[in-house]
Chain A
Amino acid sequence: MIDPLRAAASIAGSGLTAQSTRVRVVSENLANAQSTGRTPGSDPYRRKTVIFSSEFDRQLGAATVSVKSVGQDESPFAVTHDPSNPAADADGNVKMPNVNMLIEMADLREASRSYEADLRMVKQARAMATMMLDLLRNG
């Protein structure tokens, strides 16, 4: 097991990576909130979700976090009536992506909070290491 303070920095680093992946996926969802299919009756963009998993790192002797996979939200699409859309079927109905702005914004906010917390742990570990080094400097 390596120095716990360095381990803390690495673990928080894994958290930062995982949360930034989450932010990336949320922005993909938001950007594609209006992306319909190309051919009549085809499926539109399907909302993506992030799945986290905890991994035990033997070298660190602690559990880091990683993005296991980016899954897909299988919930049904919203259907709107828009005959002028190229993706409209024979009845003029268009399937819209199952992206809900509110859910995405909440997800984004949660990711940002977790990111902040991780960042704070990095700062704190660094402050502790600096404190210890200061003992050597002018103890």
Chain B
Amino acid sequence: MLTLAAEHARWATVRQAVITGNIANANTPGYVALDVEPFSAVLAETSGAKMARTSPAHLTVNGTAADDDQRIWQVKETGAPVELDQQLMAADDVNRGFALDNAIVRAFHRMLMASTRTGP
């Protein structure tokens, strides 16, 4: 759960950067708006009964730990020019998602702390 929240938070920051790029280039002629692949696509790919290397410390099949595998999010062109209000709304969305991630991490962290705390 914490990993998922962290993953979503990372996705949110990448999306924030992409949206900022769109807004900065709102008046650039010929610029096409970009967007990050939706998080659900990534979720479908990584969840399920597949074994995944979730930490760089895990060993890969042939026994060597690969260098870090931070997911590279795919950024695609939407094919449309930049709509300022749409982008701002998307940014608000990202912000809300990020706040939610933080709240989740905080809640779970509190639960962990409560369960590990010794006696009164």
In contact, A132 and B91 (Cβ under 8 angstroms): no
Task: For the complex, give the distance between the alpha carbons of A118 and B9 in Å.
Answer: 22
Q: Kindly report which residue of chain A lies nearest to residue B108, judged by CB atoms.
A: A139
Interface of B is mostly: helix
> How many of chain A's residues touch chain B, expressed as a range?
35 or more
Q: Identify the stretch in B27-35, B44-52, B59-67 within 8 Å (CB) of chain A at 4 or more residues.
A: B27-35
Contact mask A123-138 → B, CB, 8 Å, 1/0?
Answer: 0110110011011000
A4 at the interface (CB under 8 A from B): yes
Q: Tell me the count of chain B residues lying within 8 A, CB to CB, of chain A.
A: 34
Quote the shortest CB–CB distance from B2 to chain A (angstroms).
11
Given contacts A52-B27, A117-B26, contact A62 B105 (CB under 8 A): no
Q: Which residues from chain B contact A15 at a C-beta distance below 8 Å?
A: 20, 23-26
**Which A residues touch B24, using CB under 8 A?**
11-12, 14-15, 18, 63-65, 118, 121
Chain A, interface SS category: helix
Chain A 27-66 near chain B by CB (<8 Å), digits 1 or 0: 0000000000000000000000001111000001011110
Of residues 62 through 103 on chain B, the ones whose CB sits less than 8 Å from some CB of chain A are 84, 87-88, 91-92, 94-95, 98-99, 102
Contact of B29 among A9, A52, A125, A127 (CB under 8 A): A52
- Taken together as a complex, chains A and B put the C-alpha atoms of A18 and B21 apart, in Å, by 13
Other-chain residue from B14, B25, B28, B88 in contact with A120 (beta carbon distance below 8 A):
B88
Residue of A nearest to B99 (CB): A131
Q: How far is the CA of A117 from the CA of B9 in the complex (A)?
A: 22
**B contact residues around A11 at 8 Å (CB):** 17, 20-21, 24
| Top 6 A-B residue pairs of the complex, sorted by shortest distance between their CB atoms | A15-B24, A4-B13, A4-B17, A8-B20, A8-B17, A52-B28
User: What are 16 A-B interface contacts by the 8 Å CB criterion?
Assistant: A4-B14, A8-B17, A12-B23, A18-B24, A54-B31, A62-B18, A63-B24, A64-B24, A110-B27, A114-B84, A125-B20, A128-B12, A128-B13, A132-B102, A135-B102, A139-B109
Q: Which residues of B contact A (CB under 8 A)?
A: 9-10, 12-14, 16-21, 23-29, 31, 34, 84, 87-88, 91-92, 94-95, 98-99, 102, 105-106, 109-110
Q: Give residues in A with beta carbon < 8 Å to B.
A: 3-5, 7-9, 11-12, 14-15, 18-19, 22, 51-54, 60, 62-65, 110-111, 113-114, 117-118, 120-121, 124-125, 127-128, 131-132, 134-135, 139
